[in-house]
Structures are given as structure tokens and as C-alpha cells.
Amino acid sequence: MVTSVEEGISEFLEHLAGARKFSNNTIVSYRNDLKQFTEFCRKSFDKSEGEFSQLSEIDKAILKSFVAEISDPFSSSRTLSKKSLSRKISSLKSLFKFLALRGYVKKNFAASLSFPKVPKKLPQYLSKGEVEDLLGMKHVTEVAVLDKAIIELFYSTGIRLSELINLKFGNVDFKSGTIKVFGKGSKERIVPFGSHAKEAMKSYLQIREICNVNKSEMFFLDNAGKKLYPMKVQRMIRKDLSIVSEISKKSPHVLRHSFATHLLDNGADIRAVKELLGHESLSTTQVYTHLTTEKLKKSYKQAHPRA
């Protein structure tokens, strides 16, 4: 029977990794957030190093005190953003929901915690002209052939960076023009890609055949035949986007945002876009409808004589 906060967190993280199949990065974030909570509990209950704070000692007052402390800009040398604060509260809510379902706590006191109001930021994306400029750039070197294939696939499918670097050769079907990817929570989905991406990827295969000395199953490899790492792709995208656009954020996710926005601009059904992006909730996809609405408002103000 789990009785201490530390034991509860340990079992919760095991549950996320096992049953829920959360990514390592997500689990690390949960662990860091909840470690801060255990340190707060130790201090609050005057526990020495190595002593455990008991779950029976945790109530609504303790949880609210913790949130108040991490919300106080003067309690730490580093002020938390509202987004980071929301993530920490979400970690607490998830933990205590799990503990309550397992019967380790009598009541889920964290359910009453409220999130700070976070102003919604609309995602940045490329215009259709900027995409044409990006994909029309001359790619003549071996490295540039890789760039071209990656950019075309990002824009053609809207997949995430993690999904691209973990794409396996056997999960690319050129005949049907689809790829099989594993998104958040290892959820599998099939995503179609277009003729331009197909052409760029087939051109890259000639380079891959030379580089793949280790017989890797990964589709995209570096010059040494090793799996691509995120920072390498991020640097490459940032370099190429800098040539065609002045947007402040230049990351692979910008191509994902551009993919979704341009689909909706051209009349795609939002539920279909949701499935293509691998979103769990339609509300996550709806942020892209705000982008199209903002563009309509801008066009109206520019064109209507009484706007």
C-alpha cells in the first residue's frame, strides 16, 4: 500500500511510462514538477533528508500553499511563466487523480486547483508564397537533398519533429503515398503525402543508400549513417526558413502550423485535419480556425470602405 508522497509519485510515473506509454521527455517534465512538490512538502512538514512526507498529511491547504509559492515572483530567483505554472498544476492534478483512483488518498484535493489565465498565442506559419520560395530553393549538395526531403515531408504531412526522426524505412509506402507514424502516447496513424514530397524523398534515397553503412531501419540518416537528432533538424529548418521568412519562430513546428492552416484555408474539413495532425481533441485543432478568422478580419478591414 502506497503511503508516502515519494512512493505515490514513483508509481504514477511508472504508470505513465507503462500503461499510458508517455514519451521520456514528458515523464521527465512530470518528474521535475513533482520533485519540486515533494521538496515543498518536506519543508512544510519539517522533514529531514530521507524522511517521507505521508499522503495522509496532504490536504487542500498544502496544495494551495504550494501553488501560491511557485506563483510568487519573489519566492524564487526565476519567475515562472503562466504556461510553466499551468504545467506544474496540471502535473499535480494528474498525480492526485491517479492516487484517488488507486485509493491511496481519500479525496482528490487537487481537483479544486485552478489554472492561471494564459493568453492564447496564435501559432506562426508561412504564407503560401513563402512556402513556394522555401520549396523552390536550389538543392544541389548531398546535405541539401536531405533538407529538401525533410522540408517537403514536413509540409506535405504536418508530422511532428519526433515523428519524422523516428520514421522507419518500412513505414514509408511510396505505392500508396502514405507513411505510418507513431505520435504522442505511441498512437499510430497513417498520413498521406503528396507527389512533390514523394519525388524529394526518392531523390534522397540515393544518398541514403550510400550513407546507410550500418543498415539502419530509420528513413532519415545523417552523413555517417546515424539516426538524425532533433537539434540537427531544428538547426537545418531554422537556417532554411531564415532565407524566406522574417517570422520570429523558425522551427519544424512552423511547417506543421503551415500545413494545417493552408488545408483549412482551402476548405479542408477540420475533423480530417485533426486526424492528420494526430490531435486527441478537436479544440486543439480549432486554433487554426482562429488564424483563418484573423486573416478574414484583416482582409475585411483593408477592403471594406466602412470597416
**What's the start-to-end Cα distance of the chain, in Å?**
66
- The residues assigned a catalytic role are 160, 184, 253, 256, 279, 288
**Contact partners, residue 157, CB within 8 Å, separation at least 6:** 179, 181, 191, 192, 193, 197, 259, 276
CATH number at residue 282: 1.10.443.10
Per-residue pLDDT, 76: 57
Whether residue 216 has pLDDT greater than 70? yes
pTM of the model: 0.68
Asked if residue 268 and residue 140 are part of one domain, the reply reads yes
* DSSP-derived 3-state class of residue 181: strand
Asked if residue 20 and residue 80 are part of one domain, the reply reads yes
Whether residue 300 has pLDDT greater than 70? no
Whether residue 77 has pLDDT greater than 60? no
Confidence of residue 73 (pLDDT cuts 50, 70, 90): confident
Cα gap 146→143, rounded to integer Å:
5
- Least confident range from 154-158, 177-181, 282-286: namely 282-286
pLDDT in tens, 52-64: 889 998 999 999 9
| 161 found inside a domain | yes
Whether residue 116 has pLDDT greater than 90? no
* Cell, residue 256: 506543421
Asked if residue 283 and residue 259 are part of one domain, the reply reads yes
| 307 found inside a domain | no
Find the angle CA(190)-CA(192)-CA(197) to the nearest 5 degrees.
Answer: 135
Q: Which run of H or of E encompasses 180? A: strand 178-182
Q: CB 145: neighbour CB atoms within 10 A?
A: 18
Q: Provide the angle, in degrees to the nearest 10, between the axes of the packed helices 82-101 and 24-44.
A: 80
Asked if residue 81 and residue 228 are part of one domain, the reply reads no
Asked if residue 282 and residue 213 are part of one domain, the reply reads yes
Q: Mean pLDDT across the stretch 15-33? A: 90
Task: Give, as one character, the DSSP assignment of residue 266.
Answer: T
Domain carrying residue 45 = 5-112
Cα gap 85→115, rounded to integer Å:
8
